[in-house]
Chain A
Amino acid sequence: MNFGTQTIRFNNKPRVLSGYSIVGPKESMGPLDPYFHKRLRKDDFGQRSYEKAECKLHMSAISGAIIAAGMTPQDIDVNIGGDLLNQIITSSFSARELDISFIGMYSACSTFGQALIVGAALIDGGYIRTATASTSSHFSTAERQYRYPLELGTQMTPTAQWTVTGAGCSLLGKEGSNIFVESATIGKVVDFGISDANNMGAAMAPAAAKTVLKHLQDTSRSVDYYDHIVTGDLGIYGSRLFLKLLESEGIKAGAVHLDCGAMIYDKKQRCPQGGSGAGCSSVVFNSYFLHHMRAGAIKRLLLVPTGALLSKLSSLQGETIPGIANAVAFEREDD
């Protein structure tokens, strides 16, 4: 690492050329609606299965970002993507339709951070010119894989989060934008012994806190350096724990901290602690935050997508839930 022990500094400033977000009906009823690029009226997206629908979402996000940058798929060197489904079929099946070199990724809901880091590093190193970083999730496919059939009459527990239906894609390139990826901290897997799969905010909060602390330490910055420190999907309760953990280290981040999961739904929408899912951070970053960075309202942003690295099998076998968080710092150059 060229910046402390866990942090990379991108010397050649890889740029964020464009961002695109596409969401399901529930997300478009939330407070971030005006910022999304496309909203579905029905979450099956006209497809036979929800898996196909998610795949179409993922593809739409990638092509949306490419078009938004005024490019064609031929201009993209690498497509880096991930999702939550087994064997990341969403990303690889959407890559099947795109004629672009593909790197598939998985680190649960923090995949977006991982994809950004790899894309930015490849560009920074001069190996490639452009890369897309995309992730997606779909409530109905995640529900089937991790929880219960949709029609089963279950109740959400008070700590549960709602999987975001949506896909987001950022297009990274060498030049052509005043927003760049400044540095990134690659997280370590942290397990504080939470085993309730319906309390993923608590499972991920320690990982997020550790990554943020390490980032601040490696870069010798204080939290005020950033306009916002944005965690991925800790949710309302997870965010509270995250801030408590930072506080125990003497860092007060309450004023700059936001959480994509806690932002995406309205209280009235009955998602106890907010949203989650691999699509959560990518959708919110590529809509709300990228919009405000472009407008100049946000100049420095630390995005910390968080992931709970569990499977249904590991939960059933009584394993606790390891968490991970990757931090990516974005900055805006003023002309």
Chain B
Amino acid sequence: MLLTYLQVFLVGGAVCMLGQLLINLTKMTSAKILVTFLLIGVLLEAIGVFDEIKDFAHAGITIPITGFGSTLAKGAIEGVEKEGLLGALTGGMKAAAAGLSSAIFFGFVISLIFKAKTKV
């Protein structure tokens, strides 16, 4: 149990540190960083190594945006297996629907309740 959390911490931290390294070296903005890591997740899933990393790192690789990429790619692959070509279009969105819809819904609700405050 504790070991699992240590693995999560180390891998998750390392992924984020890699992102920070990219920011420091290339002055990438947050959108570019997120896209980069999302595509890494898609790629890892597509070549079939994501699950192996996940077996070791658990949330350490699924909580970073790489996990979102993997969910999308995995959904598309499973969609193809079930429904053929159409599944490539529907599978990814279906698998990622919870994340996408919750982000949109919470974003909407929060914008009604809170006002943007200035930075300090």
Contact = CB atoms under 8 A, between A and B. Distances in A.
Direct contact of A and B (CB under 8 A): yes
A62 B119 CA distance: 27
A154 B30 contact: yes
B2 to A, nearest CB: 29
Contacts of A99: none
A151 B114 CA distance: 11
Nearest to A152: B30
A150 B117 contact: yes
A196 interface: yes
Contacts of A2: none
Contacts of A153: 30
Chain B interface residue bracket vs A: under 10
Contacts of B120: 26
Contacts of B116: 140, 149-151
Contacts of A259: none
A198 interface: yes
B119 A143 contact: yes
Task: Report whether over half of chain B's contact residues are helix, strand or loop; otherwise say mixed.
Answer: loop
Interface string A36-51: 0000000110000010
Chain A interface residue bracket vs B: 10 to 19
A43 B27 contact: no
B101 interface: no
Interface string A149-182: 1111111010000000000000000000000000
A106 interface: no
A152 B120 CA distance: 13
A196 B119 contact: no
Interface string B101-120: 00000000000000011111
Interface of B: 23, 27, 29-30, 116-120
Closest 3 CB pairs of A and B: A150-B116, A140-B118, A151-B116
23 contacts: A26-B120, A44-B118, A50-B118, A139-B118, A139-B119, A140-B116, A143-B119, A148-B29, A148-B30, A149-B116, A150-B116, A150-B117, A150-B118, A150-B119, A151-B116, A151-B117, A152-B30, A153-B30, A154-B29, A154-B30, A157-B27, A196-B27, A198-B27
